[in-house]
Chains A and B, each alone.
Chain A
Amino acid sequence: MNGLEQFLRTDPLDAGCARTMELLDVYVELALADAEPERRYPDLAVHLRGCGPCEEDFKALLVAVRGRAG
């Protein structure tokens, strides 16, 4: 499958940005605790794979919280 076909694929499970941003702090803490956030919030996991800005915010929050703990 080429990049264009991948881009056109959508997953109805996708949580969207609003719900993802609302729960991002909870999701990050589950990720840091190795508590399988993608199993508890599969809709957020789908969204984070498809939304660049939300994925960047997720990674940035992970770094920020890790830095605080370190």
Chain B
Amino acid sequence: MRIEGPELDDLAHQAAADALLAITGKLGQFRGDSRFTTWAYKFVIFEVSGKLAGHFWRKSGVSLDAEDWDRLPDRFALDPERESEWHELVLAVRRAVDDDLSERQRAIFVAIVLNEVPLDALVAELGSNRNAIYKSLFDARRKLRARLVTDGHLDPEPARRP
């Protein structure tokens, strides 16, 4: 996503203003675990990320209602010449998405995985936060893998070393 000219200036000014508000609002939370400037820059970075994410919806043309499962192999760079090796797995993933995920997990999976919506852009659209969306997708990935292991499509994780 390329932003330039007046849009870029506008985004930079808004991010700077909102970062200043965030920093002044959180001053009481600064514990000195890092240098003050590093701590403050962090909020500038977060504001810029958030602003860029909001910008995604102005230009992407992506609809949250779209759901094209034919895109899944491309999304994970699955080699068409080796389709016989992954075809069943892709079908099983689709079944598990339908059967095992909650409505919210399913919507987040479809948006991020099939429609390539950036995670932060989805955060902005749903009025949520990064942690909540990441956690939903994390739980969805875990559920899907467990189902695929149960059904014999994937091997169980090797045991962790103590």
> Which residues of A are interface residues toward B (Cβ below 8 A)?
2-5, 7-10, 14, 16-18, 21, 24-26, 28-29, 51-54, 56-57, 60-61, 64-65, 68
Contact = CB atoms under 8 A, between A and B. Distances in A.
B142 interface: yes
Given A53-B49, A57-B45, A8 B34 contact: no
Contacts of B135: 16-17
B34 A25 contact: yes
Contacts of A60: 45, 48-49
Given A29-B34, A53-B130, A21 B86 contact: no
Interface in B22-53: 33-35, 37-39, 41-42, 44-46, 48-49
Given A5-B89, A52-B119, 12 more contacts: A2-B76, A3-B77, A7-B113, A18-B130, A21-B46, A28-B38, A29-B35, A29-B38, A57-B42, A57-B45, A64-B44, A65-B41
A10 B38 contact: no
Nearest to B79: A2
A61 B130 contact: no
Contact of A57 (B46, B86, B89, B141): B46
Nearest to B89: A4
Given A25-B33, A53-B120, A61 B42 contact: yes
A7 B41 contact: no
Given A18-B131, A25-B33, A61-B38, A8 B144 contact: yes
Interface of B: 33-35, 37-39, 41-42, 44-46, 48-49, 72, 75-78, 86, 89-90, 93, 113, 118-120, 129-131, 134-135, 138, 141-142, 144-145, 148, 154, 157
B134 A17 contact: yes
Contacts of A26: 33-34
Contacts of A14: 138
Contacts of B89: 4-5
Given A2-B76, A68-B37, A51 B134 contact: yes
Contacts of B48: 60
